[in-house]
């Protein structure tokens, strides 16, 4: 780093030991130290290189799930939320499933009543080690998410 004096996150990537995670955690601070050092010692750096990229403000842990919940409550489907938030539909499904225990979401908000009642009858008759094992034993119309919801519900009863 001392020899190369990187002035951008891209240049920082070429420094041995600086991977994506370290650059995200410490990159801005490291680049600031290098910039200050270069200014104090009259070391010319390329002025056409953008030294600091806008860093996205970190979200608090619970915020992303709450955002999904609010969008769902506003009438958007899981697919619409996933598209809007640029996340996987399974991620959104997981966000919303987390609100079942608090009562903010009902299990039948995330799956049809028919699938729910069918799975409540089928699952207790099956012997399985994990969801994948169960998935192979039931009709393909049931998603992993639906299976997980009903298995969790049945295990609490």
pLDDT per residue as tens digits for the range 62-105: 588 999 999 999 999 999 999 999 889 989 999 999 999 899 99
Helix-then-strand count for the chain, H and E: 9, 0
One domain, residues 51 and 67 = no
One domain, residues 21 and 64 = no
Boundary of a domain, candidates 37, 58, 79: 58
Report the domain count for the chain.
Answer: 3
Lowest mean pLDDT among 19-33, 38-52, 66-80: 38-52
One domain, residues 25 and 38 = yes
Q: Which of 40-44, 54-58, 144-148 has the highest mean pLDDT?
A: 144-148
What integer pLDDT is reported at residue 48 of this predicted model? 47
Phi/psi-derived region of residue 47, left when phi > 0, alpha when psi is between -120 and 50, beta in every other case: alpha
One domain, residues 91 and 117 = no
Closest CA to 64 of 72, 75, 53: 72
Q: Is pLDDT at 27 greater than 60 in this prediction?
A: yes
Closest CA to 146 of 135, 155, 157: 135
Query: Tens of pLDDT along 94-147?
Result: 999 999 989 999 999 999 999 999 999 999 999 999 988 999 999 999 998 999
Q: Is pLDDT at 2 greater than 90 in this prediction?
A: no
Which one has a higher pLDDT value, 56 or 77? 77
Helices (H), the chain: 9-13, 20-40, 63-73, 78-85, 89-97, 107-110, 113-122, 131-137, 144-156
How far lies 96's CA from each of 3, 11, 89, in Å? 50, 40, 11
One domain, residues 98 and 138 = no
* Integer Cα distance of 19 and 98 in angstroms: 32
What integer pLDDT is reported at residue 95 of this predicted model? 92
- For residue 21, give its domain range: 1-58
Reduced to 3 states (helix: H, G, I; strand: E, B; else coil), residue 83 is helix
Reduced to 3 states (helix: H, G, I; strand: E, B; else coil), residue 36 is helix
């Amino acid at each position: 780093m001392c020899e190369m004096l990187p002035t951008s996150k891209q240049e920082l990537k070429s420094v041995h030991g600086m991977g994506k995670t370290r650059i995200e955690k410490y990159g801005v601070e490291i680049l600031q130290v290098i910039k200050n050092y270069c200014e104090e010692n009259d070391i010319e750096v390329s002025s056409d290189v953008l030294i600091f990229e806008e860093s996205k403000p970190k979200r608090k842990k619970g915020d992303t799930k709450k955002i999904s919940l609010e969008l769902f409550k506003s009438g958007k489907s899981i697919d619409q939320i996933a598209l809007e938030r640029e996340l996987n539909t399974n991620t959104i499904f997981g966000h919303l499933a987390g609100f079942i225990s608090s009562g903010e979401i009902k299990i039948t908000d995330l799956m049809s009543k028919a699938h729910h009642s069918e799975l409540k009858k089928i699952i207790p008759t099956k012997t399985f080690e994990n969801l994948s094992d169960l998935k192979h034993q039931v009709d393909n119309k049931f998603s992993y998410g639906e299976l997980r919801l009903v298995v969790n519900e049945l295990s609490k009863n």
